[in-house]
């Protein structure tokens, strides 16, 4: 099953609806993004309506006058549905459907749809189905006849889709089952993580707003073949590849799901273990689309999401990507980052500097050692070569002279007590 087949099935013509609650908010840009999301999900945008309102209408999202306007517009442009830019409450969804007699969708549903069509691993599928069912569960309360339409997305798809008409009791037991499966997957992931950390290879997580160029970066750096596309949420499942730094030290780079403003909380819950890749990383590479007029807001969303995930104490290197599309002379800043580099992941520009910086920062927590090894201990030098950074290596008559940075985790192993060697620490 490919997402493409399904996307072709129905042409949904939608009107985007947003509420602007004050001066200087970015509803228009948020709708631009919603249009991208709708396109990715397979819908054609045929109109936009923004209501200026102090707050979102609790019962119908927009006010009565605006509802009439949407209705009129829908008639004129032959719209089949509307997409609201915020997550609707079950009551708002129901009331709007009744008033408009159109398919009513919200941002959350569209993102869930996209995730559903992108999920490829069993973990991804479980996570999406769980998020879809929870979204739907909340909207089934007290509803009868309109059930089959409520909560349906664009061309309705995804692992959870065939269960659209499941009753609440079944949904509940399915959710419980999926949670158990997810726990199992999580356990496997934790085992893999602890294995990685025992081996003391540094892990670097690539994070960033969706479409910033994270997968492109991983591909260019490591020759990985992760799908890179000018679409939102091209990547859902984490991919990890080995990257060799200039000194020969090897690290693990992980590319994963992108962030977006108003990321549905059901998705954050369901995808927590995927999103938390960053939490277990030694350092973070933050990829920013520097060619986007929304760059600042996107960076803000990334940091906000990291904070929500409890990732607050990592070293961050920010990469201002897509420099080939940026006017010369513009110098973006990121005060949260240890270092920033301007790159073009697609054209490989600036990546040597990225590797150099990674090496420098990783070695800050390493220990500098200088000592002689007997030839019989040459295995220890292999270990240093693999996990540390070998600076000097000299083969002498009675042994090998070595100067190197080694991570604390292997410091004890490569500097055994019984060797009467000079040993300098910094
Ligand atoms: N011009 C230009 N385009 C780039 C550059 N890096 C990435 N892109 C393009 O940006 C789009 C998104 O790239 P991806 O690598 O898929 O982005 P991502 O961050 O992995 O996105 P998601 O997986 O959707 O979160 C693709 O069309 C890339 O070809 C760059 O340096 N310059
Ligand atoms: Mg990607």
pLDDT higher than 80, residue 90: yes
In a shared domain, residues 337 and 240: yes
Beta carbon of 166 within 6 Å of any ligand 1 atom: no
Q: Are residues 19 and 89 in the same domain?
A: yes
**CA of 236, closest atom in ligand 1:** 23
285 in the same domain as 210: yes
pLDDT for the residue 150: 44
Residue numbers of the domain that contains 54: 3-112
Residue 331 falls inside a structural domain: yes
Q: Which ligand lies nearest the alpha carbon of 230?
A: 1
Does 322 sit in the ligand 1 pocket, CB within 6 Å?
yes
**What's the pLDDT score for residue 83?**
96
Q: Is the CB of 215 under 6 A from ligand 1?
A: yes
356 and 396 inside one domain = no
Whether 14 and 73 map to the same domain: the answer is yes
Query: Considering only CA atoms, which residue is closest to atom 7 of ligand 1?
Result: 213
Q: What is the mean pLDDT of residues 77-81?
A: 94
Residue in 120, 216, 239, 305 to alter for ligand 1 test, most ligand atoms within 8 A of Cβ: 216
Same domain? For 275 and 345 the reply is yes
Instruction: Name the pLDDT band for 220 (thresholds 50, 70, 90).
Output: very high
Answer whether residue 196 is part of any domain. no
Query: Do both 133 and 279 map to the same domain?
Result: no
212 in contact with ligand 1, CB cutoff 6 A:
yes
pLDDT, position 77: 95
Residues 214 and 350 in one domain: yes
- Domain boundary among the residues 57, 84, 112 is at 112
- Ligand 1 pocket, 40 CB below 6 A? no
Instruction: List pLDDT tens digits, range 261-277.
Output: 888 888 888 788 778 88
Is the CB of residue 158 below 6 angstroms from any atom belonging to ligand 1? no
Residue 226: inside a domain = yes
Kindly state whether residues 296 and 276 are assigned to the same domain.
yes
Q: How far apart are CA 230 and CA 130, in angstroms?
A: 27
- Tell which one of 346, 347, 349, 351 to mutate to probe ligand 1, the residue whose CB is within 8 A of the most ligand atoms: 346
Same domain, 92 and 130: no
Among 229, 232, 256, name the best residue to mutate to test ligand 1's pocket (greatest count of ligand atoms within 8 A of Cβ): 229
- Residue-wise burial string across 150-184, b where 16 or more C-beta atoms lie within 10 A, e elsewhere: bbbbbbbbbbbbebbebeeeebeebeeebeebbee
Q: 116 in ligand 1 pocket by Cβ < 6 Å?
A: no
Report, as an integer, the average pLDDT of 100-121. 89
Which ligand ends up closest to the CA of 285? 1
Number of domains in the chain: 4
Q: What is the pLDDT of residues 257-315, one digit of tens each?
A: 899 988 888 888 878 877 888 888 989 999 999 999 899 999 999 999 999 888 988 99
CATH number at residue 75: 3.40.50.11060
Rounded to whole angstroms, the Cα distance separating 306 from 289 reads 17
């Amino acid at each position: 099953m490919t997402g493409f087949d399904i996307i072709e099935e129905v042409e949904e013509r939608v009107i985007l609806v947003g509420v602007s609650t004050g001066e200087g908010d970015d509803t228009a840009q948020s709708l631009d993004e919603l249009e991208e999301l709708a396109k990715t999900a397979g819908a054609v945008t045929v109109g936009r309506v923004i209501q200026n309102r102090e707050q979102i209408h609790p019962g119908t999202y927009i006010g009565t006058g605006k509802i009439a306007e949407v209705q009129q517009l829908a008639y004129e442009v032959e719209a089949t549905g509307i997409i609201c830019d915020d997550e609707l409450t079950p009551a708002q969804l129901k009331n709007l459907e009744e008033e408009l007699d159109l398919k009513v969708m919200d941002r959350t549903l569209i993102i869930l749809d996209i995730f559903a069509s992108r999920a490829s691993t069993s973990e991804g599928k479980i996570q999406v189905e769980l998020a879809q069912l929870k979204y739907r569960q909340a909207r089934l309360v007290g509803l009868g006849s309109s059930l089959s339409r409520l909560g349906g997305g664009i061309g309705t798809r995804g692992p959870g889709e065939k269960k659209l008409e499941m009753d609440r009791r079944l949904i509940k037991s399915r959710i419980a089952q999926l949670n158990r499966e997810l726990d199992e997957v999580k356990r496997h992931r934790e085992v893999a993580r602890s294995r990685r950390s025992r081996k003391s290879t540094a892990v670097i997580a690539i994070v960033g707003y969706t479409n910033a160029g994270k997968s492109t970066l991983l591909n260019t750096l490591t020759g990985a073949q992760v799908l890179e596309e000018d679409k939102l949420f091209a990547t859902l499942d984490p991919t990890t590849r080995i990257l060799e730094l200039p000194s020969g030290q090897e690290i693990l780079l992980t590319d994963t799901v992108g962030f977006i403003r108003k990321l549905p909380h059901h998705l954050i819950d369901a995808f927590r273990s995927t999103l938390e890749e960053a939490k277990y990383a030694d350092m973070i590479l933050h990829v920013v689309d520097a060619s986007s007029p929304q760059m600042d807001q996107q960076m803000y969303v990334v940091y906000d999401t990291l904070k929500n995930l409890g990732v607050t104490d990592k070293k961050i290197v920010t990469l201002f990507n897509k420099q080939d599309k940026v006017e010369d002379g513009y110098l973006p800043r990121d005060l949260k980052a240890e270092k920033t580099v301007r790159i073009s992941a697609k054209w490989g520009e600036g990546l040597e500097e990225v590797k150099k910086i990674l090496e420098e920062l990783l070695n800050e927590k390493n220990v500098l050692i200088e000592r002689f090894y007997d030839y019989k201990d040459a295995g220890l030098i292999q270990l240093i070569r693999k996990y540390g950074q070998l600076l000097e290596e000299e083969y002498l008559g009675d042994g090998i002279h070595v100067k190197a940075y080694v991570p604390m985790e292997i410091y004890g192993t490569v500097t055994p007590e019984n060797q009467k060697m000079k040993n300098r620490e910094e």
